[in-house]
Chains A and B, each alone.
Chain A
């Protein structure tokens, strides 16, 4: 009898009851709402603006970029990186890692160099062979779009010519995007 009396007093002094009922009520309502509305497969997009045949012709006449970077993707020999700068071409081959695996990290490293040398270029042209699977193209796009290393960043040139003095004093803005503007160069070829 004495034990029975002592026990409740202990609980009163050391613990307190947290009223979980409102919390539970909120959760019980929120969980079904989220379960119903949640998409278990999150779909995202990769933007590749196709150059319209005419549009491209006009753009090429007006402001032809001095430097172009092109990737030729071949299932057997790997990825060929062609950097054309002021009329001269530099071709580098990124060989396959194995029979069916592209050397993506090698490509990434190489493109970091290319981007560091040409920070003004944001466009990259893809020219995959006909038998290259779509998923490989998307994988390579992922490598190309932005730098994965946090410490590798590229300066951004200010587009506005008439910038104020205090803007000039500031450190140049930098970005981890390498070549976010992917276009398919060989799409219009026959």
Chain B
């Protein structure tokens, strides 16, 4: 049965080769290629979007640099993938804030302080590599665009207290 059908279809072609019209495909590929090349970012550092954080749009043209990745959404504060503190209605919990200084977030300070101490303790002679971003105190802050300045300021304040004064605000390309 199958054999018969194949014989029939091969008979319908006038020759053994047939011309496939690839013009439209080439067309599509060209457009796709141009689009992809144009949006191709040349930066060395890859930043993955964090869930729950919608970054603000900005017209800045500076490429991201390596830094300690701190992300702040309406629900939690993270360093990298680790959750450091949780927020309720875009406010820090009372337990996480220093009772004497309302801008001081204790868990964030402890974590950053630990990182910089660990980095400083690394011995270059033993072949350990010191991380330049921690040494220079660079923070890459990915904060949700709808948060208020008050809560972001607390993070900036704590970070600079912990010896991370160079703050980079992550933004997305837009108008």
A residues whose Cβ falls under 8 Å from a Cβ of B: 20, 23-24, 27-28, 30-31, 34-35, 37-53, 55, 128-135, 137-139, 141-142, 145, 184, 186-188, 190
Contacts and interface: CB of A to CB of B under 8 A. Distances in A.
Interface residues of chain A: helix, strand, loop or mixed (majority): mixed
Interface centre among A39, A134, A139, A141 (most CB of B within 10 A): A134
A27 B36 CA distance: 12
15 contacts: A24-B25, A27-B33, A43-B173, A44-B58, A45-B168, A46-B62, A48-B167, A55-B165, A129-B149, A134-B149, A138-B58, A142-B58, A145-B60, A187-B160, A188-B160
B168 A47 contact: yes
A45 B127 CA distance: 32
B49 interface: yes
Interface residues of B, number: 55
Contacts of A47: 62, 166-169
A38 B25 CA distance: 21
A184 B171 CA distance: 17
Contact of B56 (A30, A31, A134): A134
B104 to A, nearest CB: 10
Nearest to A132: B149
B30 A138 contact: no
B47 to A, nearest CB: 4
A57 to B, nearest CB: 13
Interface stretch (B3-11, B77-85, B105-113, B150-158): B150-158
Contacts of A131: 148-150
Interface in B8-38: 22, 25-26, 29-30, 32-33, 36-37
A128 to B, nearest CB: 4
A184 B152 CA distance: 11
Interface in B125-175: 140, 143-150, 152-153, 156-157, 159-161, 163, 165-173
A158 B170 CA distance: 32
B22 A20 contact: yes
A17 B111 CA distance: 66
A42 B167 contact: no
B157 A141 contact: no
Nearest to B137: A52
A190 B154 CA distance: 10
A162 to B, nearest CB: 31
A20 B58 contact: no
A13 to B, nearest CB: 19
Given A38-B36, A130-B153, A133-B145, A45 B160 contact: no
B143 A134 contact: yes
B29 A27 contact: yes
B89 interface: no
Contact of B60 (A20, A39, A45): A45
A134 B147 contact: yes
B65 A128 contact: no
A45 B146 contact: no
Contact of A138 (B25, B102, B159, B169): B169
Given A41-B172, A134-B147, A135-B146, 4 more contacts: A24-B22, A31-B29, A34-B40, A129-B149
Contact of B47 (A27, A30, A43, A190): A43
A142 B36 CA distance: 26
A134 B152 contact: yes
Contacts of B26: 20, 23-24, 27
